[in-house]
Structure 1
Amino acid sequence: MPRNKLFESWTFKLSMPKPFDDPNYSGLKDFGLSKYNMSGKLHKASLHAPTMRALLAYAKLVNTSEQGQDTDGLGAIGHQDNKFRIAEYKSANKTDCVVFNPNTGKFVVSQFEDGSDTPKAYSLAAGNASGSALLFCLMPIFEQDDEFRDTFLQFRNELSQANPDMDSALSMALVLCDNVYRRIEGAGQLGAAGVKLAIPTTGNISTISHLALDKGSYAPTGTVYGQFTILKMGGAPQQQAIMVSHADFVGKYQLSARSLTAREDAMVPKLPDWYIIPREVVRVCEHAKLTSTTSQPMRNFLFRGEAGTGKTMGAQAIAAGLHLPYTLMTCSANTEITDLVGQFIPDTAGAVSQADASSPLPKISDIIMHPPSVYEELTGIYDDDKTEDDVLQKLIEIAVGRLAQKEEQHGQRIRYVDTPLLEAIRYGYVCELQEPSCIANPGVLVGLNSLLDNCQTITLPTGERVHRHPDTVIIVTTNSDYAGCRDVNQSIISRMDLIYDIEAPDLATMVKRVMNVTGCTDEQETTKMAMVVRDIAERCRQTMITDGSCGMRELKAWVLSTMITKDPYESALSTVISSASADPENRADLITTCLEKQYMR
């Protein structure tokens, strides 16, 4: 059974594209094996229709481009710096826009029918999408392998002939299909040659939203072949903060005329003076406020982005703008539905007996050292004649008495305790739900669907029915690109009223934000440090260093440490460099290529 959705059994039953649609070409062959076909009982190779379509489309695009001819209608392949591989795959009456993240192995795909600007979902399944568009996007990655590159060159040259030798072309096609299949299926064992993909088991791949298109989040910065028509060139613009004063924002978007208690008022976040209110935060408050009188008020929001881009601070700012108490829940791999809505715990209030409240029983070493003193501690009577046996006898009496006292109680009482999420739902607060994509059990968040639907209810194990307060705002913050994170369930995504991808700020904003947070006054030095952090993050993407983090938090720590040590180089080693990777070789590379561009030891 294949480990990847691209090679499920139905994909091998699809009809082959011309000129490989000859029935004699189908089935397993004992020739045309790639060098990676080394394991398993049966050493065979076969053509794979989705791979063949991708190979033929890529061969035609490359040959046409190298001949200097018009590539209109043939698609395009390019990249956004070193962050994404990007492609537009043309097929009958539609274009598949594909974005691949080499660091995570994840795709983002949307289909556009000819003449339409409405993105449609891409689902890898029989009768829908075969995966050719995904494989087409991966072609430059496959070409990093010598066998694939050399064979593909011969393959496209052969097909460009007026009368190609189809026996030779078949043998090359088998090698190429087998190379792709083995490097994806055996990625975990092939090291650098492997191509690791993370395709959901459902086959439903994340969609390029209208917002991402408008923002240019996946705009190519370079083209390898062809010309992009939907994902326009230019690169992703940086997040721009809008200058909104705190006085014009805090408390200006109240959802109702309710009065908060003293405790609730204390739970409303106070924004620090240095905080620059992002555009996304203002938009969320506007949508929540202006839809309050409608039948479906907007109350569920999702922030996605790398660590340190301000997702949690944004959630707190939203609570300040709405003038609502803020609560927080952080998810983990072991989070269950009971961890989100509440739990039974023992009720010990007023049930502690005098015996339980007494001092701990003495240790054996104390008894051996001086029995009379220990006896006095237990009874209040000092007697030099008391021996170890006397003390031990008294200890037994006290222990038995305490046990009897516990047994006389009428059973342990328990009570049901609200979680921060349930408290927010019950009383109308803002609750940030952090990293739900880390939850191992995919059914956990689905259990919250009734609460994510506005004005719905959930029945607790106690039998109580909790109605969602109309002011309750839930903000999901997640980063699906980090280790341990998974795709958020589609039923949860569909219940989010707004979804914002929070991008890292530009250099000037980074410098200003860090200076405001740390109190550093040296703008020139802070700018140099921000440049190093930016270079480290880019280097990590280029070399696929994924075991650490380098962003705003690390820059802040570096600046604070430098204010103490007065040595940026020394402080960098224990902040940004050590945080970027745990591997000594990776750290040495980052020091040489990034840190020492600005600072020399």
Structure 2
Amino acid sequence: MLEEQEKKEWEDMEAALRAAFICCDAMYCEVIANPQQAIPLEKSQFRAEELEDVLPEYKIAAGVYAPNDEIYGKFHVLLPVNEKTKRTLFELKQIYSGRWDVNERTKERIPSLPEDYLVSKEAEEILQMVDKTPARLFMMTGDAGTGKTTDARMIAQILGLPYYVFTCGPGTDELELLATTVPNMGGTAHLEMELPSLEDIEMDPASALATVNGIYEEGISREKAFREILKAVYEKGYEKSKNEKDFLLKESEIVKACREPSVLEIQEPAMIEKPGTLTRLNSLFDDGAVTDLVNGEQIRRNPDTIVIMTTNLDYVGCQNFNQSVLSRMNLIQPKEALTEEEMVKRAMKRTGFKNKELLSFMAATVCKIHEYLIEQDITDGVCGYRELENWVLSYMVSNDLRRSAWTALLSKASMDREEQGTMERVFLLPHCDVD
């Protein structure tokens, strides 16, 4: 059965999959049945004509046939998987770029990442949604260093759109999301009056004063004329500046992005202390896509402004989102952590470090420490791809694996000195001969 398919070099994948189902089912029954109930391995407990109905693909994908318990190893449902090959930034630019006219003034905002970078499946999914649907609102969640911001910048570069970024903090309020008020430090007021020169005052003080206040005082002294001129200039300047505003309204990056086709990244919205603050943007996220500024101006979001929220959900200080904001997102994508192999490839490309054996060890160490932090519920530190890259860069400078691990990795994994020492003894020192 399965052996027969192997001899045929799996030329018929459907027949091979069917044989695998039967073998898995029969083996499962052999394990749980007593000797009298055992079913021969070459037979299935299902009749052949029922097999397709009993094991439909959607049920397999939904995990209906997952085991109740695993005693040893890991249970896998056998399925043919067509793994999508990641494409480069350059390849995707050929497909998606050039569809929008970009203002010359904002072209400098288009990112310029290396075009041989591989684009993540999450970024490509957003590109497909933008291309084939009116969806323009997205959210990416995940640990630091998983590439959320890089994805947003890649999307902007592939589409050929300017990239704007707005970073939230605990104190971000509704007003700040759209605009802020700043003191008017560069007043535009200037006196539209002709002022006499010092030579004019010396030669004819009465005429010099008359050019300023329109009054000719016969016999006025130079000193008095000079004082009167200064007084008149001050009074006119004061009246002029009184009519100017003390504060100016400065548009946020969110408003600037909404005025044209662009990619807007809103970083760390979960950090905002009051979850309801983001609802100020709901009217921009609705179909009407219009909101009002404090000066009464109406802002309408351009239909091709792509909004990508990027955030961590489990870090210190993060709050839950208001449900009305979540409801308006077209996609919410959890970013998976990079695998060891992906970390190695990215670090080699970004740092130029060529020792793949050592880099593989460093990536494996980072992954093990990351898992350790989760298992031990250590929440006062972080360990991910950024820490790996910093470790590599530090090692390239110092050529000291242990010292660079302390400064770039262990010191960030936890603030507890004892925990740092434990991680060094368990994950680093036993393997330092790799250096």
**TM-score over 0.5 (shorter chain):** yes
| Higher alpha-carbon Rg | 2
Over 3 Å counting, the alpha-carbon distance change for 1:575 and 1:214 in structure 2 is: farther
Shift, 1:338, TM fit: 1.0
Q: What letter corresponds to residue 393 of structure 2 in structure 1?
A: L
The one of 234, 240, 243 aligned to 2:86: 243
User: What CA distance in whole angstroms lies between the structure 2 residues aligned with 1:524 and 1:405?
Assistant: 77
SS of 1:504's equivalent? coil
Q: Partner letter of residue 306 of structure 1?
A: D
Which structure features the higher share of helix residues?
A: 2
Query: In the TM superposition, what is the alpha-carbon distance from 1:461 to its structure 2 partner?
Result: 1.0
Count of residues in correspondence between the two structures:
334
Q: Give the corresponding residue for 1:271.
A: 113
**1:432 pairs with one of 256, 260, 265:** 265
Letter paired with 2:95: K
**In structure 2, what is the Cα distance between the partners aligned to 1:329 and 1:214?**
39
Distance 1:221 1:593, change over 3 A: farther
Report the secondary structure of 1:592's partner residue. Answer: helix
Q: 1:422 to 1:584 in 2, by over 3 A?
A: same
Q: How does 1:411-450 map to 2 (within 5 A)?
A: 411-413=243-245, 414-450=247-283
1:306 to partner: Cα distance: 0.5
SS in structure 2 of the partner of residue 454 of structure 1: coil
Q: Residue type of the partner of 1:319?
A: A
Matches within 5 A, 1:364-379: none
User: How far is the alpha carbon of 1:215 from its aligned partner?
Assistant: 10
| Secondary structure in 1 matching 2:181 | strand
After superposition, the C-alpha distances for 1:116-165 in whole angstroms (9 at most, x for unaligned) are x99xxxxxxxxxxxxxxxxxxxxxxxxxxxxxxxxxxxxxxxxxxxxxxx
Per the alignment, residue 590 of structure 1 pairs with 423
How far, CA to CA, are the matches of 1:508 and 1:433 in structure 2?
A: 29
Q: Quick check: 1:241–1:276 contact (8 Å CA) kept in 2?
A: no
2:180 aligned with 1:343: yes
CA gap 1:352/1:556 in 2 versus in 1, 3 angstroms: farther
**Kept in 2: contact 1:424–1:430 (CA 8 A):** yes
Q: How does 1:91-490 map to 2 (within 5 A)?
A: 223=69, 242-250=85-93, 252-254=95-97, 256=99, 258-273=100-115, 275-291=117-133, 297-351=134-188, 407=238, 409-413=241-245, 414-490=247-323
Q: Is the 8 A contact 1:446 1:489 kept in 2?
A: yes
The alignment's TM-score, normalised by the length of structure 2, stands at 0.69
Q: Indicate conservation of the 8 Å contact 1:537/1:551, yes or no.
A: yes
Residues 428, 334 of structure 1: alpha-carbon distance in 2 compared, 3 angstrom cutoff = same
**Is the deviation greater in 557-566 or in 341-350?**
341-350
- 1:563/1:464 Cα in 2 relative to 1: closer, same or farther (>3 Å)? same
CA 1:271–1:252: 2 relative to 1, 3 Å: farther
Distance 1:404 1:566, change over 3 A: farther
Distance 1:480 1:271, change over 3 A: same
Q: Per the alignment, in what secondary structure is the counterpart of residue 333 of structure 2?
A: strand
CA distance in 1, matches of 2:66, 2:326: 26
Deviation digits for residues 439-473 of structure 1 (CA, Å, limit 9, x no counterpart) = 11121111211111234200111111111101110
| Alignment check: 8 A CA contact 1:303 1:500 kept | yes
Matched position secondary structure for 1:474: strand
User: In 1, Cα distance between the equivalents of 2:302 and 2:104?
Assistant: 19
* Residues 69 and 277 (structure 1), Cα distance of their counterparts in 2 relative to 1, 3 Å cut: closer
In the alignment, what sits opposite 1:49? none
Q: Would you say the 8 A contact 1:274–1:516 is kept in 2?
A: no
The percentage of counterpart residues that share the same residue type is 33
Shift of 1:512: 0.5
RMSD (Å), alpha carbons: 3.6
Separation of aligned partners in 2, 1:346 and 1:578: 41
- What per-residue deviation string (whole Å, max 9, x for no partner) do you get for residues 471-512 of structure 1? 110001111111111222211111111121111111111100
Pairing 1:567–2:409 present: no
Contact in 2 for aligned 1:242/1:277 (Cα 8 Å): no
